[in-house]
Amino acid sequence: MKTGIVGLGLIGGSLALALRRAGYFVVGKNRSQAPTQYALSHGVIDMAGEVSGCDVVFVALPPKATVDFVCTYPFKEGAVVADICGVKRYIEREVLRRRPSLKYVGTHPMAGKEVSGIENACADLFDRASMVLTSNIYTDERAYELIKKLVKDIGFARLVECSAEVHDKKIAYTSQLAHIVSNCYVKDKTIEGCLGFTGGSFQDMTRIAGVDENVWTELYLENADNLSASVRLLASNLTDIASAIEGGDPQTLSALLRAGREQFEDGKNNSFQGRDIKTTSLK
């Protein structure tokens, strides 16, 4: 089976390496030449060129570019096409509207690094990660099962299955909000001269503060309803904490902190399982 990767960045390159590790032939396509040449010279892909002859194509582009490509490209008849965008409703809606006969499956690998570019790609990036698959009543069952097989072959530790709506609501909280918090956290001028004052908590809070704002702006705006709700709830909770601190109110402050701890522990005790979500261990 011939597989294709469109977009040879960190995630696309890592997918290519993982697919090759699993024994698949990989064709790579990229808009600029430098990543393509790197991929060829470093064995990330087997060949470069069009993916119109591939049986399965993973599209690793930003949301709008993904929609433009998926909805217009001359794929092989019967080819299975999977996007790996960080938002799913927008992609799914546009594919159903513009190309409903396409064998499309929504995917989102829950792995990454604080650095980008194909030079940082690695075959084991997904070995301890989850892959989220989204589907709807129109999803082709055989295409979906094929992607599930590839997910296991690539090396993912867990398969998560849900709707595009559930995905976008969860990802607004687990990923997008976390990036926004990190970005806001480093805007405090106190960060200057902090060498020697930092530990693990600082590293955790700042690790993702330097991501590409252009990429993330598009993702945020395509999930605006879910993300804005998460941001406003966080802002409200922070305001409550600030008021308790400013008022010197130890009882209120302690109660607020305890509520957060108890909610976290309750979720942890239930393995953070959620409704309308199916999780399967692949290891």
Q: Is the pLDDT of residue 230 over 80?
A: yes
Residue 174 CB neighbours (<10 A): 12
Predicted local confidence at residue 270, as pLDDT? 80
192: pLDDT strictly greater than 90: yes
* Domains defined for the chain, CATH in brackets: 2-163 (3.40.50.720), 168-269 (1.10.3660.10)
* pLDDT tens digits for range 78-115: 999 999 999 999 999 999 999 999 999 999 999 988 78
pLDDT for residue 271: 79
Structure confidence at residue 60 (pLDDT): 97
In this prediction, residue 112 carries a pLDDT of 84
**pLDDT for the residue 55:** 98
User: How far apart are the C-alpha atoms of 143 and 1, rounded to whole Å?
Assistant: 13
Count helices and strands in the chain by DSSP H and E runs: 11, 9
Global pTM value: 0.94
* Percent with pLDDT over 90 in the chain: 92
Taking residues 158-172, report their average pLDDT: 97
Lowest mean pLDDT among 109-113, 239-243, 257-261: 109-113
Is the confidence at residue 242, as pLDDT, over 80? yes
H helices of 120-249, where?
141-154, 164-171, 177-185, 200-206, 213-221, 224-246
- Statement: residue 274 has pLDDT above 90: no
Lowest mean pLDDT among 30-39, 143-152, 201-210, 272-281: 272-281
Of the pLDDT bands very low, low, confident and very high (cuts 50, 70, 90), residue 275 is confident
Burial class (CB in 10 A: 0-12, 13-18, 19+), 28: buried
pLDDT in the model for residue 116: 85
- Rounded to whole angstroms, how far apart are CA atoms 25 and 241? 54
pLDDT at 9: 95
Q: Which of 14-18, 111-115, 126-130 has the lowest mean pLDDT?
A: 111-115
Q: Provide the mean pLDDT of the chain.
A: 95
**What pLDDT shows up at residue 113?**
82
Question: Percent of the chain scored above 70 by pLDDT?
Answer: 100
Strand partners, 110: 130
Q: Can you tell me which residue has the tokens 């305001």? A: 239
